[in-house]
Amino acid sequence: MKKEQIIEWLKEANAAKLGLLWKLADDVRKKNVGDDVHLRGLVEISNYCIRRCGYCGLNAENTSIDRYRMTAEEIISCADEAVNYGYGALVIQSGEDYGIKAQWMADVIRSIKSRTALAVTLSLGERTDEELALWKKSGADRYLLRFETSNQQLYEKIHPSLPGKKSDRFAMLLRLRQIGYEIGSGVMIGIPGQSYEDLADDIECFGRLSLDMIGCGPYISHPKTQLGRENSEVEDMQGQQVPNTELMTYKVIALARIMCPLANIPSTTALATLNTENGRELGLLRGANIVMPNVTPIKYRSMYEIYPAKACINETATQCHNCMKGRILSIGRTIGQGRGDSPSYKQRKSV
Ligand code: 5AD
Ligand code: FES
């Protein structure tokens, strides 16, 4: 699909035409990754963050949240819980927390890998090549790092680099692939200052990077962030500002599926936050094939407030599990068994 065509879809308002996009995405999904929906247990192990991202509630300048870092034992018991629910993968996520020491993390990974058959996905921010290689060697399988936006200027504005160290997430994604990880990335939809052209570039990037996993959700304003404090109307976008809506999110999921037929694509919590009733299901019906039920201990949940009113925040792991299963079955899909490795990764490995 050409960039002009992507932009046209992003601007499309006609419901009948959009029906064709949903149908196309769903057909591509079915043909390439089937009806299985894989569940990944998500554990948010620390909300400490050294970054000052303009969009994220965990940013270092936010002094109004209590910070926590889970113990190794707590993380391992979440892994056991994920196994009990039948999940094939555990996603270990945190703020960019250098209190998470490389060797400590490596030991946690080893311990999970030795007692379970879980695939382990890391989402721990920008770390050194040595750390990433050590974690891979310790058994980690996948790494998630969203590039957030491919517009360099906008990225630098919302994601300030650390002193003396320019943030280059595209370079880091390539290194992750060289190290041997399955790689996942993605963007936020409707960041103030993001144009339709930018978003079309993002979608083209998914294809160019041949991502194994693509996570996209709407940008949701958080009052304790730079962007949340600014008036998002300030910049004159001349009608080119992407809205951070539910509809735009479905369009991006559908286009991502068409660009990367074999990728694993989640129906995200941010999307479910905009439509708690059936956002998850609609994401799955329009290209997605993954959901990530939260297995973080309930006492930490409210402290991991990336954006406000996050869906499922008060749901126990059991409630979330049952709810997700019900939603998947209600739309005639099946629960994926096993690790749910990315078919694109497997294909690459076999050539
Ligand atoms: N709204 C939506 N998504 C957000 N993220 C961070 N802050 C927000 C927000 N305010 C997303 C980013 C990050 C992922 C873990 O959560 O894309 O990579
Ligand atoms: Fe988590 Fe429904 S999906 S409670």
Average pLDDT estimate for 71-93: 97
With a pLDDT cut of 70, the percent of the chain lying above it is 98
- Give how far the C-alpha of residue 155 lies from the chain's centroid of Cα atoms, to the nearest Å: 17
Tell me what the pLDDT averaged over the chain comes to: 95
Pairwise CA distance, residues 37 & 77, whole Å = 24
Average pLDDT estimate for 73-98: 97
pLDDT over 60 at 234, yes or no: no
Pairwise CA distance, residues 183 & 215, whole Å = 11
What residue owns the CA closest to ligand 2's atom 1? 320
**pLDDT tens-digit profile of 99-114?**
999 999 999 999 999 9
320 Cβ closer than 6 Å to some ligand 2 atom: yes
How many angstroms does the Cα of residue 320 sit away from the middle of ligand 2?
4
Ligand nearest to the CA of 314: 2
How many angstroms does the Cα of residue 89 sit away from the middle of ligand 1?
21
CB proximity list for 231: less than 8 A, separation 6 or greater: none
232 falls in which pLDDT band (50, 70, 90)?
low
Q: Which protein residues are within 6 Å of ligand 1, measured from CB?
A: 55-56, 146, 148, 188, 217, 219-220, 222, 270, 306-307
Q: Which atom of ligand 1 is nearest to the CA of 215?
A: 17
Please list the residues that pair with 292 across neighbouring strands.
Answer: none
With a pLDDT cut of 90, the percent of the chain lying above it is 91
Domain ranges of the chain: 3-350
86 falls in which pLDDT band (50, 70, 90)?
very high
Indicate the range of 41-50, 202-211, 269-278, 306-315 predicted with least confidence.
306-315
How many angstroms does the Cα of residue 124 sit away from the middle of ligand 1?
13
pLDDT over 90 at 296, yes or no: yes
Tokens of residue 287, six digits? 């290209």
Helix (H) or strand (E) holding 216: none
* Residue from 323, 325, 328 whose mutation best tests the ligand 2 pocket (most atoms within 8 A of CB): 323
How many angstroms does the Cα of residue 57 sit away from the middle of ligand 1?
9
Q: Which atom of ligand 1 is nearest to the CA of 187?
A: 17
- Are 225 and 35 spatial neighbours (Cβ–Cβ below 8 Å)? no
What residue owns the CA closest to ligand 2's atom 2? 323
Whole-structure pTM value: 0.96
278 Cβ closer than 6 Å to some ligand 2 atom: no
- Give how far the C-alpha of residue 228 lies from the chain's centroid of Cα atoms, to the nearest Å: 21
What residue owns the CA closest to ligand 1's atom 7? 56
Residue that the structure tokens 């905009």 belong to = 274
Phi, psi of 325 (to 5 degrees): -60, -45
- pLDDT value, residue 350: 77
What residue owns the CA closest to ligand 2's atom 4? 320
DSSP state of 187: B
Q: Which atom of ligand 2 is nearest to the CA of 280?
A: 3
**pLDDT tens-digit profile of 124-170?**
999 999 999 999 999 999 999 999 999 999 999 999 999 888 899 99
- pLDDT value, residue 164: 87
pLDDT over 90 at 343, yes or no: no
User: Helix (H) and strand (E) counts for the chain?
Assistant: 15, 10
- pLDDT value, residue 233: 58
Provide the CATH number for the domain formed by 3-350 in this structure: 3.20.20.70
324 Cβ closer than 6 Å to some ligand 2 atom: yes
- pLDDT value, residue 345: 84
**pLDDT tens-digit profile of 34-71?**
999 999 999 999 999 999 999 999 999 999 999 999 99
How many angstroms does the Cα of residue 219 sit away from the middle of ligand 1?
7
CB proximity list for 247: less than 8 A, separation 6 or greater: none
